[in-house]
Amino acid sequence: MKLGNILSQKKSTIVKKWFDSVAKTYAEDTAKFLKNQADPFANPVGGSLSTGLEALMDELIQGMHRETIVSFLDPIIRIRAVQAFTPSKATAFIFKLKQVIRQSIAGELKEKEIADELLTFEIKIDELALIAFDIYVECREKIYELQANEMKNRTYSAFKRANLVSEIE
């Protein structure tokens, strides 16, 4: 696969551009912080993004092992789900990879073989997006469940303090 070799050679550039496109989905100050703060303890979101995007790119190039993909995609999507991104905005960064790759290998796309391989590669990116959407939905369901349980607990506590609830013996 010629495309795999080209992508492997240009991986660091592609991942950096991909990271930048993800950072742009945040507010301007946050985006600057994500890009400039390299310490993963001071910038856990940026650290998760950087590590995750690089590993995801490796998986796309070498093979699609679902467990590995989920292990790196989950922290990224979990953060975006908690930050209340809409489903489309939470997962849109995956589709940005197509644009980044096309820009990065524009010269090589003149070869029919590379262009054909890219179409197959883009199907993998689509599969990655579907996995991300599944993860997002699971995270939001868990958030809603936690919120509902918290509301039930608050209501019960309020009724108990008002002596409107009693224990059945």
Show pLDDT as tens, one digit a residue, over the chain (169 residues): 599 999 999 999 999 999 999 999 988 888 888 887 777 778 888 888 999 999 999 999 998 899 999 999 999 999 999 987 899 999 999 999 999 999 999 999 889 999 999 999 999 999 999 999 999 999 999 988 998 989 998 988 888 888 887 777 7
Is the residue at 166 inside a domain?
A: no
Q: Is there a domain that residue 22 lies in? A: yes
Query: Would residue 23 count as lying in a domain?
Result: yes
Total residue length of the chain? 169
Residue 147 maps to a domain: no
Q: What is the DSSP letter of 111?
A: S
How many domains does the chain divide into? 1
157 assigned to some structural domain: no
Q: Are 140 and 83 in contact (CB under 8 A)?
A: no
Please indicate, yes or no, if residue 26 is contained in any of the structural domains: yes
**Considering the domain boundaries, does residue 163 fall inside one?**
no
Q: Quickly list H helices, the chain.
A: 2-9, 11-23, 28-36, 44-62, 66-82, 87-104, 112-161
| Enclosing domain of residue 67 | 2-139
Is 47 domain-assigned?
Answer: yes
